[in-house]
A and B are shown apart, each in its own frame.
Chain A
Amino acid sequence: EVQLVESGGGLVQPGGSLRLSCEASGFTFSSFWMHWVRQAPGKGLVWVSRINSYGGSTDYADSVKGRFTISRDNAKNTLYLQMNSLRGEDTAVYYCARETALTGSFFIDVWGKGTTVTVSS
């Protein structure tokens, strides 16, 4: 069964840091581009970042550029999101997601259940 399991969320003070992890199973992790998408309480989905299959190329939403870093360890089947200089507006459920293998397409076909990040003093 294809599965993505996020961890690492929690309560952090403004200006603090947190590292999210996402463990993948049931598929060849090293063959897929991966994403982070977040959802603030009661709001819609917002794309955060993506990384290519071997970790050599990354992209970020303007709102997190320079503060967040996406990375991966293919030997451990794990995706990461290092979040620094956190702000109240970063409070959200963070979803780990897999990009489709269809050539030329970027849509997400598998989602994790999410991990909650709360930034508050």
Chain B
Amino acid sequence: DIHMTQSPSTLSASIGDRVTITCRASQSITTWLAWYQQKPGGAPRLLIYKASTLQSGVPSRFSGSGSGTEFTLNISSLQPDDFATYYCQQYNSYLLTFGGGTKVEI
């Protein structure tokens, strides 16, 4: 199985900050990577797929980059609605695997 590692596990930030979350794959997944946002008690929400393609309806302050084994999710200017946990997920293999999550807190 492909193992996904996210860092940091927790991130403290303020409104307006630029935030960067890193995701590393245990082997190359080219650009077969998605990012999800999950709020407490809620279901995950797709933000980005194919490493950098923004899902319809997702604010443009979110962006993704990377290929191979290293990827990043950026939030250009953190908004109150963005405090949540973020997960990366590889789909290079049908055995989908997720990163451990990054909690973005105030």
- Cβ proximity bits B15-49 to A, threshold 8 Å, 1 near / 0 not: 00000000000000000101010100011111001
* A89 located at the interface, meaning its Cβ lies under 8 Å from any Cβ of chain B in the complex: no
In the complex, which of the residues B32, B44, B97 contacts A95, with contact meaning CB atoms closer than 8 Å? B44
Given A45-B87, A114-B43, decide whether A108 and B95 contact each other with a Cβ distance below 8 A.
no
Interface size class of A (residues with CB under 8 A): 20 to 34
| Chain B at the A interface: SS class | loop
Q: How far is the CB of A23 from chain B (nearest CB, A)?
A: 15
A72 within 8 A of partner (CB): no
B71 interface hit (Cβ, 8 Å): no
Is B87 within 8 A of A113, CB to CB?
Answer: no
B96's partner among A95, A102, A106, A111 (CB-CB below 8 A) is A106
Residue of B nearest to A62 (CB): B1
Interface range on chain B (Cβ under 8 Å from partner): 20 to 34
Interface residues of A in 24-78 (CB under 8 A from B): 35, 37, 44-47, 50, 59, 61
Chain A's nearest CB lies how many Å from the CB of B91? 4
- Given that A44-B100, A114-B43 are contacting pairs, would A105 and B49 also be in contact in the complex, using a CB cutoff of 8 Å? yes
Find out whether the CB atom of B98 lies under 8 angstroms from the CB atom of A46.
yes
- Is the beta-carbon distance between A100 and B43 smaller than 8 angstroms? no
Quick one: which of B34, B45, B55, B95 contacts A47, CB cutoff 8 A?
Answer: B95
Given A107-B91, A114-B43, 12 more A-B residue pairs with CB atoms under 8 Å apart are A37-B96, A44-B87, A44-B99, A44-B101, A45-B44, A50-B94, A59-B94, A59-B95, A105-B50, A107-B96, A110-B46, A113-B43
